[in-house]
Structure 1
């Protein structure tokens, strides 16, 4: 299912981490970056698509750790829930795994492959995986490219993406080099909030033109207060690069009213687009 939509109607589901009860499924974060939590009592995943639709969202990037099980029957039920709500599952986001780990990289690659199988069962056309969490070097970039290409080759029905993220893709230089090594076999998801520094907007603009998906992240100028100026500059960096895809909003701030802050972000995006 592919929908024509207002670019402000796309959402990265990390934005609703509190709403989802801070749920992290057992076994979904082997690195320990996220603590497992099944006792939050938040919105159930099967209810999420209808809630997205009720708040005006028609596209979702789904975090893998929200899935309480990967049993085929559950995946079919979740796929049907997205279809019934007319919410397009743009990409499954696998938020763990380090394919360039010096000891466990191959094992992590096999673990990621199981999530590519899940993405196929959910009917997601894309899956995003980390490029690696080691410092960039000629060796680590080449190793990442080789293993990401292997993942993509083994799942030709999926478009595999990676992100300007984690220890490997720390700047535009490393990201551009990896994309060159991937030779188009694996694509890029650009996250506007993953790089810091005074030149971050220039760096985003330097690579975003090659991106197929985005995550437009809101920083805070104070606890619970969106930094609207930063959000506007990030959007302009994407426009400068010629990025024309969906703008999947990411609220990662401290306000528990996640829906309210997302509505505020939508207002900023509409103002900039106008």
Structure 2
């Protein structure tokens, strides 16, 4: 992918104030719950977002599953059409719930996630992100994760949707376990590397270790009093590029200041300045 604005994407998470409403997940069914004004009333719908996004110069989108108000075939077709008309690529459907490593409900959650992978297919998404597990990385939990991810890959066989997981939650809280899980999956599941999920003194070393196999990136910046932390963000982008990362950077913004569009613009312009 060329080093240009084509390498920039936006997650609906970064526009949660604009959208306002979220739709709770019920892991015991495929139903979508009534909308909740989690982040206020909002001023835009998900169906209207693609055109608004394009008007702001963004043409790649990631949708968080809890922003979907319906799984009805007509609604999914309408959303897919809006993306196409607006010239916006649905880069990833972020399946934001479920624990495939749960010793009691892991099978239930795996089946639930499989249904959402089908939604990704219906929407024409390039990728579907799955949480690898929320349990501590014991040998048994790692085994359960690998087994479930293999099952999901089997069910998705022949699809153009690429399954990816993320360095997120306790199971994938270290580069060692990220490598073990991905190695055991033998390329059947890819990696979305998130810049903001790991902290601590070894943050940069740990991120550099996994970025050599990353296919996607959540590029979250820290903001202090509305100002982007350029030192940290610059270090993160540099380690990704130095590791040979050539994929898109999905802008993640959730600070109180500045506004969402202003924060996204600061992140985008900073990244593009480092790719020149």
The answer, yes or no, to whether TM exceeds 0.5 is yes
Q: 2:36 aligns with which of 35, 38, 54?
A: 38
Alpha-carbon separation, structure 2, partners of 1:27 and 1:126: 20
> What is the aligned partner in structure 2 of residue 6 from structure 1?
5
> What is the aligned partner in structure 2 of residue 159 from structure 1?
162
> 1:2-81 alignment to 2 at 5 Å?
6-21=5-20, 23-27=21-25, 37-39=35-37, 40-42=40-42, 43-81=44-82
C-alpha change, 1:4 and 1:178, in structure 2 (3 Å) is same
CA drift of 1:6 comes to 2.1
Range with bigger deviation, 79-88 or 194-203: 194-203
> What is the aligned partner in structure 1 of residue 144 from structure 2?
143
C-alpha change, 1:266 and 1:8, in structure 2 (3 Å) is farther
Q: Does structure 1 conserve the Cα–Cα contact (< 8 Å) formed by 2:5 and 2:272?
A: no
Alpha-carbon separation, structure 1, partners of 2:24 and 2:169: 22
> What is the aligned partner in structure 1 of residue 240 from structure 2?
238
> What is the aligned partner in structure 2 of residue 104 from structure 1?
105
> What is the aligned partner in structure 2 of residue 209 from structure 1?
212
CA drift of 1:143 comes to 1.1
C-alpha change, 1:65 and 1:29, in structure 2 (3 Å) is farther
Measured against aligned partners, the alpha-carbon deviations of 1:207-250 in whole angstroms (never above 9, x if no partner) come to 11111111111112x24332121111110110121110111111
Alpha-carbon separation, structure 2, partners of 1:151 and 1:4: 33
Q: 1:181 aligns with which of 179, 184, 187?
A: 184
Unaligned runs of 5+ in 2: none
CA drift of 1:18 comes to 1.0
Q: Does structure 2 conserve the Cα–Cα contact (< 8 Å) formed by 1:29 and 1:65?
A: no
- TM-score (structure 1 length as normaliser): 0.92
C-alpha change, 1:124 and 1:11, in structure 2 (3 Å) is same
C-alpha change, 1:71 and 1:4, in structure 2 (3 Å) is farther
Q: Does structure 2 conserve the Cα–Cα contact (< 8 Å) formed by 1:3 and 1:88?
A: no
The residue matched to 1:261 in structure 2 has which SS? helix
CA drift of 1:174 comes to 1.1
CA drift of 1:41 comes to 2.5
> What is the aligned partner in structure 1 of residue 126 from structure 2?
125
Alignment RMSD: 2.0
Number of residues of Structure 1 aligned to a counterpart in Structure 2: 267
The residue matched to 1:18 in structure 2 has which SS? helix
> What is the aligned partner in structure 1 of residue 171 from structure 2?
168
CA drift of 1:80 comes to 0.4
The residue matched to 1:166 in structure 2 has which SS? coil
Alpha-carbon separation, structure 2, partners of 1:129 and 1:104: 16
Q: Does structure 2 conserve the Cα–Cα contact (< 8 Å) formed by 1:79 and 1:123?
A: yes
Q: Does structure 2 conserve the Cα–Cα contact (< 8 Å) formed by 1:8 and 1:269?
A: no
> What is the aligned partner in structure 2 of residue 259 from structure 1?
261
Alpha-carbon separation, structure 2, partners of 1:243 and 1:58: 20
Q: Which runs of 4+ in 1 moved over 6 A?
A: none
Alpha-carbon separation, structure 2, partners of 1:193 and 1:129: 17
